[in-house]
Amino acid sequence: MKKVLLIAIAYVLTACSGSDSSLINTTQQAVRAKLKDPDSAKFGEAFIVPKEEESTKYTNVRSVCGDVAAKNSYGAYDGRIRFMGLYGKPIGGNEMELLELEIEPQPNNKIFEVVHWQVDCIKKPAA
């Protein structure tokens, strides 16, 4: 009985982490498609932040946040830029949808910091 319970717990944990890694991969592919040189993309850490606010249209709303370095128009790397993808599952639906994708226009952009990063990407401490 204990063996079955441990296998069930391992399966649930694997399924949860699999969906998170899938969202991260999907977001990175969407970011890559927006870059001037998609093949040069070097992604850093990416993480998921669950949203606490309730939505009337979506459940399981979460942000995927991270950073990437990629070559610019001149073929040079000029710093890491951040990105934020907002996902949600439509009420009554089965699949997560990309609701919004924002990419920092240049490194350390203050508007991106205030409007997106501080709102959608700050990890909340566990209660």
Q: pLDDT digits over 87-105, tens only?
A: 999 999 999 999 999 999 9
Alpha helical stretches, state H, the chain = 2-34, 110-112, 118-120
Does a structural domain hold residue 63?
yes
In this structure, is residue 126 part of a structural domain?
no
- Is the alpha carbon torsion for 74, 80, 81, 83 positive or negative? positive
Give the Å distances, CA to CA, from 12 to 8, 18, 42, 60, 126: 6, 10, 31, 17, 21
State the total domains in the chain. Answer: 1
Region 53-57 average pLDDT = 84
Structure tokens at 100: 């919004």
Q: Which domain holds residue 37?
A: 2-120
Decide if 127 is inside a domain.
no
In this structure, is residue 89 part of a structural domain?
yes
User: What is the per-residue pLDDT for 52?
Assistant: 82
Domain contains 55: yes
Mean pLDDT of the chain: 85
Q: Which of 26, 60, 57 shows the shortest CA–CA distance to 43?
A: 26
Confidence band of 53 (pLDDT split at 50, 70, 90): confident
